[in-house]
Chains A and B, each alone.
Chain A
């Protein structure tokens, strides 16, 4: 109400805490996972194509569209109008998309092909608890 104000002096007891001068906020997951918020998107993994690097169906990916695609980056790409999750490879001018699973072959990226790099995977998150509660 108008005319009253409060000074925060510490914990429930009202006495100043010796920790007050050292206070930091709790760990912030956004700070850890998101480097460039407007360019960061979330994708959920549906298939086993990247299993060999420990990315499995159900995992959540933090994708950054502002990162450049460099050799060996894990990327979300669009090929022939469809989304794919692959490892981006470039060597001696040749570009291809590789899977990390024996059943999926390489896709060569050629001039004039319907190919777009959608974003680079920064982090993958896996949940290890099967049932809650």
Chain B
């Protein structure tokens, strides 16, 4: 039996834990650089604010309906996610983190204590972290996802919905479109409909072998899962990362190569920290930058370049050197650039790095230095120690005008409580 635990309106809910004045009110959260709306509270949905709407276009309506706005606070959201996942892990080690706000749990072997156990999980997560969640329970992950949808949409279930009987399964799948099923997107749904499987219930009645002959084994598994045969289990071993990406849009356009060097060095520094934390080295990287597509009056240019390192490295300085080499190769003056980024790939565990005719693996001493720097940055805050190449002022950093505080990660930004008008 699988339970899918999913946080309700995750970003908005994170904000509400620390800002109770936002509860019950329409609230939206903006993407990086305050570009578009990436989260809405139920009240904001009710006044017709759409997901993904560009902020500047939505502003008049947000003002008209009194919708509160926050810039995204991923430092806070990441910490709150860690807390929720940590509480779930206390219930069972068989927990698979699926996204920042979703996790699958293996809840087999509980018999008739299952419902009470799952409701207990929901209550504990809410009390301990302030995060409201919905939980769907079924004997396959795909059905658990469908059950979760019911739990979320129908308040009468109290946040938990279990698919026990055939009637339960029909109720859950009957309330969904084919493309809402986990693993089925718009185009697959259209293809399936052409064969006469236009609804989740219809697909569930299909012969899995026939579906496989028309599509592939992945879709066959999906049908089996809908039929109640588990094909996907809890993967509690995390996959080693395949690539590490670090990129952002700029708060104001960049026109000088020195500024682009500063920006790319910063993103390489971030990506390299992630690399070292995972105990990996990168054998190659791709740098890219482009102008603002939404400003057709600007000359458009986009370019990327891949640079292979002489030897795989986790050392920021070496990666920055390669990144700058890449930038130099594609740089053009007279353009207003909106975004740049770096992708580290050909990742391998540090112990496996080998030297070559062209380069030697990272020096132990340098790695120790890097780890000391990482330690300082972790303890005293990001950018306590950085490569001079990253720039100190960083005027090009993205806008986040309406961001709330880092309530759980920075000492001088914690919640403050009390009547400050009075001294004693």
Which chain A residues have a beta carbon within 8 Å of chain B's beta carbons? 1-2, 36-39, 41-49, 51, 57, 60-61, 65-66, 76, 78, 81-85, 103-104, 116, 118
Contact = CB atoms under 8 A, between A and B. Distances in A.
A38 B83 contact: yes
Given A83-B20, A116-B20, A38 B419 contact: no
Contact of B416 (A38, A41, A44, A118): A44
Contacts of A46: 416-420
B20 A43 contact: no
A66 B20 contact: no
Given A36-B128, A43-B417, A45-B418, 16 more contacts: A38-B86, A38-B128, A39-B127, A42-B411, A44-B417, A46-B419, A47-B420, A47-B422, A48-B422, A48-B424, A65-B129, A66-B127, A76-B417, A81-B21, A83-B417, A84-B417
B408 interface: yes
A85 B417 contact: yes
B323 interface: no
B420 A57 contact: yes
Q: Which 7 residue pairs spanning A and B have beta carbons closest together?
A: A47-B418, A46-B418, A47-B419, A39-B128, A38-B83, A38-B86, A46-B420
Nearest to A63: B415
Contacts of B20: 78, 81-83, 116
B414 interface: yes
B131 to A, nearest CB: 10
A60 B86 CA distance: 24
A73 B420 CA distance: 22
Contacts of B128: 36, 38-39, 65-66
Given A48-B424, A81-B20, A38 B87 contact: yes
B422 A38 contact: no
A41 B415 contact: yes
Interface residues on B, range: 20 to 34
Contact of B84 (A37, A38, A42, A83): A38
Nearest to B128: A39
Interface in B317-372: 351, 364
B418 A85 contact: yes
Contacts of A81: 20-21, 23
Nearest to B86: A38
Given A38-B129, A82-B20, A49 B84 contact: no
B63 interface: no
Interface string B384-424: 00000000000000000000000110010011111111111
B130 interface: yes
A65 B130 contact: yes
A13 to B, nearest CB: 22
A39 B129 contact: yes
- Of A37, A60, A83, chain B has the most CB atoms within 10 Å of the CB of A83
Contacts of A44: 414-417
B416 A48 contact: no
Contacts of A78: 20
